[in-house]
Structure 1
Amino acid sequence: MPIASPFPLDPPASEMPWIARATELAVDFAQHAAELDETAQLPVDNLRRLHEAGFDTAWLPQSYGGQGLSWLSFGRVLTIVARACPSTATIWLMHLGAAYGLVHLSEEENAGFFARELAAGKRFANALSEPTGGNLFLVPLQVARPVEGGFVLDGAKRFVSGCEIADYLLVNALVDDVPAFFGVSPDDTVKLLPVWDSVGLRATRSQLITFDSTLLPQARRCTKRSEEPNPIPIGLPFLSIGVAEAALEALREHACGRVIPTTGQPLAAMQWVQFAAAGEHVRLRAATLLAAQTAWLADQRSPLVNPSSLEAKLLANEVAKDAAALGVKIGGGSGYLKTSPIQRHFRDAQAGALMAYSAEVCQSEIGKALLSADAGA
């Protein structure tokens, strides 16, 4: 007899129309993904359509004008978008992470302001990762000095996805030796250095930006502690899962459509192809279940969501890379051509493991917890 799952695998039935809406949008997103990748253009139209469909505010509490949807539905929506166009999914995830962070960590007046700006279609971006900070994006090294009205920051932040269209930046810096977070409107003191020319996720345009005596307003400082989950740690596993799904689908289409001249059989009939595809399919299922459990824990506001998110991200990152690599192996020379989606999925799959927290940092944190003296308590 099957064992009943301790957590639901699907979003509530009442939220399924949102899944259908995302699926409909994703059809068009997929048609333009290769072009956006080739030209490294921001998917502005995709982001606009997500906003107009109500997805930007859907997971905010109703008290801030949102729908209060479940994080299980968020994972499903993000997977659908990432499968179609992972650059769109990445920018959208970071946009929500910055916006929701500012709403939940700000005092009531500022929280309402940022929620209204999000609802109005304003764009948000995370400016947290420092050039010398590695994965420690929540523990800044750059010090902001006090001035009238707030603090001044001189420094730089990297991998700021969507910064070219951002109306607000979530910025961190050390204040009195303590990490502090601010909502900042970019002005002439914030400069963009267009150095982004990546191998994968090219349409994210995650540029380096510099701050030259930029005011971090005390009035926009985040001073609250919040138990509300942030979309980014919940969403990162689903980002890689979407890439893995796309990679396996491209593999399947190639294997079923490519006929071996000597046998007259498709590649899909070869046993080694079947065995390899089955292995990746099962691992993807496992990664999806672990990510879904993380989303469910977030819906319960469980303290276990953070360690679970590290495990889910680690597995999803590795599954995406392995599934994409298998696609290249089965695709052969034709899968290595720029015209093939196989090579694009391979390039995109590498990015998830590099995003903070990287796969190595996840391994380190999970390993330390597993091998700690009181782990078995």
Structure 2
Amino acid sequence: MVAAHPLGPPAHEQHWVDLAARLAGEFARTAAERDRTGELPVGNLRRLNASGLDAAVLPAEYGGQDLSYRSYGAIVRVLSAACPSTACVWVMHIGAVAGLVEMSEPDVARFFAERLGDGARFANALSEPAGGNLFLQSQQPAEAVEGGFRLSGEKRFSSGCEIADHFLVNAKVDGVSTFFGLDADPATMTFLPSWDAMGLRASGSQLIRFDGTLLPHERRCPPSKRRRPNHIGAGVAALSLGVADGALAALREHARARKVLPGGGTVAEQQWVRFGVGELESRLQAAAMFAQYMCWLADENSPDFLSATVRAKLLANEIAREIADLGVRVGGGSGYLKTSPIERWFRDAQAGWLMAYSAEICKDVIGAQVLGDDA
């Protein structure tokens, strides 16, 4: 018997990863159609919730399974390899609810955990049009009023916001970026149909306009007193790794089936294709190994986790784009058509690079760490 990988999912949690893989097989069958229509994968998300995967991520004290970050990363990767839009919405949903449960007072945390168990949807409302990568440091002030604070302004790239029942939102209170749990309020919140993206088209990452929305005192998250690994930070690398897996699978299928010339060998027998695949698959393995290490650091609640997320994201973003680019070149003219999965994977591969923190910011952060402030 081969021992489990020391950085992989713990053996007692492998059944969760296997469950995600079975669901992913179903999600893959509709991924192309969802990309074509841009329709949110509501059915997929409901299946994930009904399977118990949503609740499994939460702490045991709130009815969860204390699912490890190592298993969580593996689950995100397998979902993304099947339907990146489903995986993206799920990561943001889990990040929002896990964040609210972790940051809220116990009674409020219990409320959100119970709502998750009831099938409620969660989304983030953090990124601001003028905020760039500073999505955790809100620049939008909230006005103090009776019962809480009023927020007016816009938040963008809120994946799955149209079906969300609750939001993790931040605003500047007394000069400090402060988090709140917010119930959807149709009277003061408007979802603008701004999402007509190149990739992740079915993630519904729309813009939200707030018009005097009340952020209640009782839903205010107190300042953090301890370090907490962030599920979105841990998940974005796995999103790109899954896209890389999907792009490589599409490339392989095309290369093995397509003849170079009638009666000749297949594209897969071309030396330049083998060289390219050999190099990039090896780098994919390396990027995946570092992402597993990052998840292990999260399980250890290590102070090195944040630094590792930046590197894991950069490595995963880069390899996804490079494999998808090779896929287009291997696919030739047929791979350039919208009917080809190669073309779809190429578009989806660009998204991770742009997600905060963008790859350029990641490089800058790493460079500053290596060179030091006095360089």
- Say which SS state the counterpart of residue 56 (structure 1) adopts: helix
Residue 67 of structure 1 is matched in structure 2 by: 65
> CA-to-partner distance for each residue in 1:229-263, whole Å, 9 max, x for gaps?
22100011000000000001110111100011166
- Say which SS state the counterpart of residue 66 (structure 1) adopts: coil
Residue 201 of structure 2 is matched in structure 1 by: 202
Offset, 1:308: 0.2
Matched, 1:106 2:135: no
Residue 299 of structure 1 is matched in structure 2 by: 299
Distance in 1 between the 2:115 and 2:261 partners?
Answer: 59
Distance in 1 between the 2:373 and 2:17 partners?
Answer: 44
Residue 90 of structure 1 is matched in structure 2 by: 88
Residue 78 of structure 2 is matched in structure 1 by: 80
Residue 190 of structure 2 is matched in structure 1 by: 191
Residue 130 of structure 2 is matched in structure 1 by: 132
Count residues with an aligned counterpart: 371
Offset, 1:76: 0.7
Offset, 1:228: 3.0
Q: In the alignment, residue 194 of structure 1 is paired with which amino acid?
A: P
Partners of 1:106 and 1:224 within 8 A in 2:
no
> CA-to-partner distance for each residue in 1:202-231, whole Å, 9 max, x for gaps?
000101110001111111000041433221
Residue 27 of structure 1 is matched in structure 2 by: 25
Q: In the alignment, residue 205 of structure 1 is paired with which amino acid?
A: G
Offset, 1:70: 1.2
- Say which SS state the counterpart of residue 55 (structure 2) adopts: coil
Which runs of 5 or more residues in structure 1 are unaligned?
none
Residue 277 of structure 1 is matched in structure 2 by: 277
Offset, 1:363: 0.8
> CA-to-partner distance for each residue in 1:38-93, whole Å, 9 max, x for gaps?
00000000000000111101121111100012111111111000000000000000
Matched, 1:363 2:363: yes
- Say which SS state the counterpart of residue 57 (structure 1) adopts: helix
Residue 286 of structure 1 is matched in structure 2 by: 286
Residue 214 of structure 2 is matched in structure 1 by: 215
- Say which SS state the counterpart of residue 154 (structure 1) adopts: strand
Distance in 2 between the 1:97 and 1:317 partners?
Answer: 19
Distance in 2 between the 1:283 and 1:96 partners?
Answer: 28
Q: How does 1:146-165 map to 2 (within 5 A)?
A: 146-165=144-163
Q: How does 1:243-258 map to 2 (within 5 A)?
A: 243-258=243-258
Residue 338 of structure 1 is matched in structure 2 by: 338
Offset, 1:374: 8.1
- Say which SS state the counterpart of residue 157 (structure 1) adopts: strand
Distance in 2 between the 1:224 and 1:248 partners?
Answer: 43
Q: In the alignment, residue 286 of structure 2 is paired with which amino acid?
A: A
- Say which SS state the counterpart of residue 153 (structure 2) adopts: strand
Distance in 1 between the 2:20 and 2:141 partners?
Answer: 41
The two structures have a TM-score, normalised by structure 1, of 0.96
% identical aligned pairs: 56
Distance in 2 between the 1:238 and 1:275 partners?
Answer: 25
> CA-to-partner distance for each residue in 1:148-191, whole Å, 9 max, x for gaps?
01100110000010000000111111000000011111211001
- Say which SS state the counterpart of residue 211 (structure 1) adopts: strand
Offset, 1:9: 2.7
Offset, 1:139: 0.7
- Say which SS state the counterpart of residue 338 (structure 1) adopts: coil
> CA-to-partner distance for each residue in 1:266-317, whole Å, 9 max, x for gaps?
0111111000001110110011001000000001010100000000000100
- Say which SS state the counterpart of residue 301 (structure 1) adopts: coil
Instruction: Please point out which of 8, 15, 30 is paired with 1:17.
Output: 15
Matched, 1:235 2:212: no
Q: In the alignment, residue 213 of structure 1 is paired with which amino acid?
A: G
Offset, 1:10: 1.8
Offset, 1:364: 1.0
Distance in 2 between the 1:275 and 1:131 partners?
Answer: 42
Distance in 2 between the 1:9 and 1:108 partners?
Answer: 32
Residue 353 of structure 1 is matched in structure 2 by: 353
The two structures have a TM-score, normalised by structure 2, of 0.97
Distance in 1 between the 2:229 and 2:305 partners?
Answer: 8
Distance in 1 between the 2:167 and 2:18 partners?
Answer: 31
Q: Describe the shift of the 1:280–1:107 C-alpha distance in structure 2 as closer, same or farther (beyond 3 A).
A: same
Instruction: Kindly report structure 1 stretches of 4+ aligned residues shifted beyond 4 Å.
Output: none
- Say which SS state the counterpart of residue 7 (structure 2) adopts: coil
- Say which SS state the counterpart of residue 133 (structure 1) adopts: coil
Partners of 1:170 and 1:184 within 8 A in 2:
yes
